[in-house]
Structure 1
Amino acid sequence: MKILSFLAVFCCTAVFSQSGNPEIMKDAFAHTYSIVARDAETGEMAVGVQSHWFSVGSIVSWGKSGVGVVATQSFVNPAYGPQGLELMEQGKNPSEALGILLAQDEGKEYRQVAFLDTSGNTAAHTGENCVEAADHISGENYSVQANMMLNATIVPAMQKAFLENAKLPLAERVLKVLQAAEAAGGDLRGSQSAAIIVVGPEKVKNPWEEKKIDLRVDDHEQPLAELERLLKVARAYEFMNRGDLAMEENNIEKALEEYGNAMKLFPENLEMQYWTAVALANSGRMDEAKPIFEAIFKEDENWKEMTRRLPSAGLLNIPPQELLNLIK
């Protein structure tokens, strides 16, 4: 694989020298496959990407709630991300926004870019000098694109996976598309990094609310397997967060339901078990809570110290003697 990567860079360097575009070599060499997509039910928008390149998610995937998403790859011009989003926010549709940026880019024939807006409109560009196999397919609510692929079946396989998994949540649907690309042959050089971002259909007030999901695998032997694991963990913690909100509202039964859902996804996680035990204790169900506490303490005694500290913070409401008996 290292030899292939070296030869690819060497050959491209020769091409650029002959074509008078040496500046392109300064751009990140993120040949890859990606999808921009929208969920017709929720309005959420996403970018999913995988490449044999370090930290591909940091340069390829861009999104803004209430505006749209962008994937910029091949010899990456990162400006397509923020500038494309700005143009769409100003009212340009994806075709207009992409056309404006391509007209300003002397290296456009080395670019591969896809835009998607809140209405599900898409626009994509695959430059003539993108390394084969390179192609894109765009439709309502999605665009799939790839370059430097092992074969020409990969982009159609991505489209098929997107259309066949419409019932899945958007992030899981995007993951299926990436997995389909890999199963069809994937990047000629192999795999290294992957990412998924999801943004909402409405604009947000605070920057920390911008992304509903923001997962990156920067360097891994099996980036899609790791991305799948992280997505599962992220879903588990969504349940945990809802459980915490229910606890704040003193809705113990709701908290137990949410914590239980989290544990189903991530049963080996001690923290998820722990807060379930706390919710049980706070609802007066100490007989159910105690065995869970004891199993956790056996794994890691630091949780005893955590338990000692909770009453003063108002998070564990049991009699003092019962607390002593629990952590002795």
Structure 2
Amino acid sequence: MPRFIPLLALLALPAFAAGPVSAPVPRRPVHTYSIVARDPETGELGVAVQSHWFSVGSTVPWAEAGVGAVATQSFVDPTYGKLGLDLMRAGRGAPESLAGLLAADSASQVRQVAMIDAKGRVAAHTGDKCISAAGHLVGENFSVQANMMEKDTVWPAMAKAFREAKGDLAERMLVALEAAEAQGGDIRGRQSAALIVVSGKASGRPWVDRKFDLRVEDAPTPLKELRRLVTLQRAYNLMNEGDLAIERNDTEAALKAYSSAEALAPGNAEMVFWHAVSLVNVGRVDEAVPLFQKTYKADARWRKLLERLPKSGLLPDDPKLMTKLLGPSR
């Protein structure tokens, strides 16, 4: 991996002022096609990637709420992600940040990197020694990039798909990845995928700002699995919305969110169980009973869990109520 000049030195210098640093180049390229993007309506920032390499999500995608997003691939150097976010957090735009890091990298000819900042400024680089077919396309609020592709139609197809896709940022980035695969994708095949979406503004609570943070480490069809996980994440996000609505005493909003979550993840007994618990706690016991019965049919251990909730204060300590909720045992 190349060594980079210190962040403070980069901040003090104009773009491209830093000289190259001698360092060894990794022996194999490990990452293939990706997208960095921003939703102009919500400000959300994101990265999505697929590769024929194990655990692509551990090195390629980087994103921070209110700061920016980075994809670093080809002969990958993860420090582009760390330092790219550091520079953008310090006030540099994505083009300046990327230019400074490339100028400090003696192996920039084998790198492929894209960055977008919280204002939607975008920059991308494909080194002239990246393995073909390789290239990138920068558009308004996004950049798509790919290397080692079967065909050079991959990244233009990604750009077109992203521009035309409907839905939120996660959905539009997924559509872009699927368009790449439809064009043949990586000449080596497929193995892993990842998707990150963060809020447009930082709340000071990073765990809240990360709307999606999903990785498929190793799978025959990683994009299909990634799409399944995105749908499941949406369901759990709705469960969280329901919990927050309960805290606000907005029962109808909570129950609507819980029902929407269950519709996205049919067969998920846990969502049904906690929906039922919430119904009991707002006095809608008769509506809760059939939901509890549904979970017991899926796995009898949900009945055992229910018996433990009064002691933890999650249900009223009322023997008559518990008898009704537990129903006839088998």
Give the TM-score, by structure 2 length: 0.88
Contact in 2 for aligned 1:179/1:224 (Cα 8 Å): yes
State the secondary structure of the residue aligned to 1:76: coil
Q: Corresponding residue for 1:168?
A: 167
Match of 1:178 in 2: 177
- Residue in structure 2 matched with residue 113 of structure 1 by the alignment: 113
Question: Is the contact between residue 80 and residue 101 of structure 1 (CA under 8 Å) also seen in structure 2?
Answer: yes
Matched, 1:55 2:55: yes
Unpaired runs of at least 5, structure 2 = 1-21
Aligned runs of 1:40-119 on 2, under 5 Å? Answer: 40-119=40-119
Distance in 1 between the 2:283 and 2:78 partners? 55
1:87 is displaced (CA, Å) by 1.4
Q: Distance in 2 between matches of 1:268 and 1:150?
A: 39
Alpha-carbon distance in 2 for matches of 1:246, 1:152: 48
Equivalent residue number for residue 259 of structure 1: 258
Is 1:23 matched up with 2:31? no
> Which residues of structure 1 form unaligned runs of 5+?
1-20
TM-superposed deviation, 1:280: 2.9
Q: Is the CA contact (8 Å cut-off) linking 1:94 and 1:123 kept in structure 2?
A: yes
Asked if structure 2 preserves the Cα contact closer than 8 Å seen for 1:239 and 1:261, the reply is: yes
Q: Which residue number corresponds to residue 242 of structure 1? A: 241
Deviation at 1:318, TM superposition (A): 7.5
Q: How many residues align?
A: 306
- Residue number in structure 1 paired with 2:18: none
Contact 1:281 1:318 in 2 (8 A): no
CA contact (8 A) 2:139 2:159 kept: no
Alpha-carbon distance between aligned partners in 2 of 1:228 and 1:193, rounded to the nearest angstrom: 12
In the alignment, what sits opposite 1:303?
302
Structure-2 separation of matches of 1:302 and 1:49: 39
Question: Percent identity, aligned pairs only?
Answer: 54
Contact 2:277 2:288 in 1 (8 A): yes
* Deviation of the 1:294 alpha carbon: 1.6
- Structure 2 match to 1:16: none
Structure 2 distance, partners of 1:297, 1:127, is 58
**d(CA) in 1 for partners of 2:38 and 2:282?**
41
Structure-2 separation of matches of 1:93 and 1:293: 53
Aligned partners of 1:249 and 1:122: how far apart in 2?
A: 39
SS of structure 1 residue aligned to 2:29? strand
Q: State whether structure 2 residue 163 is matched by structure 1 residue 158.
A: no
CA RMSD of aligned residues (A): 1.8
Give how far 1:231 is off: 0.4
More helix by share: 1
C-alpha deviation, 1:277, in angstroms: 2.0
CA contact (8 A) 1:34 1:50 kept: yes
TM-score (norm 1): 0.88
Per the alignment, residue 13 of structure 2 pairs with none
- After TM superposition, the structure 1 stretch with the greater mean CA deviation from structure 2, 205-214 or 231-240, is 205-214
User: CA 1:110–1:281 in 2, change beyond 3 Å: closer, same or farther?
Assistant: same
Q: Confirm or deny: 8 A CA contact 2:31 2:60 kept in the other structure.
A: no
Match of 1:38 in 2: 38
Structure 1 counterpart of 2:184, one-letter code: G
Q: Show the counterpart of 1:6.
A: none
CA contact (8 A) 1:146 1:155 kept: yes
**Which stretch has the larger CA shift, 111-120 or 28-37?**
28-37
Q: Return the alpha-carbon distance in structure 2 between the equivalents of residues 210 and 281 of structure 1.
A: 31
Return the alpha-carbon distance in structure 2 between the equivalents of residues 214 and 178 of structure 1.
16
Q: Per the alignment, do residues 94 and 322 of structure 1 end up closer, same or farther by CA in structure 2, a change over 3 Å counting?
A: closer
- In the alignment, the residues of structure 1 paired with residue 139 and residue 205 of structure 2 have an alpha-carbon distance, to the nearest angstrom, of 31
Aligned to 2:146: 146
1:231 is matched with which residue?
230
Deviates more, 1:49-58 or 1:208-217: 208-217
Deviation, structure 1 residue 310: 1.9
Residue 259 of structure 1: CA displacement? 0.8
Counterpart CA distance in 1 for 2:144 and 2:58 is 19
CA apart distance, 1:249: 3.8
- In structure 2, distance between residues paired with 1:318 and 1:259: 24
CA distance in 1, matches of 2:246, 2:87: 43
Contact 2:311 2:317 in 1 (8 A): no
For residues 283 and 64 of structure 1, the distance between their equivalents in structure 2, rounded to whole angstroms, comes to: 37
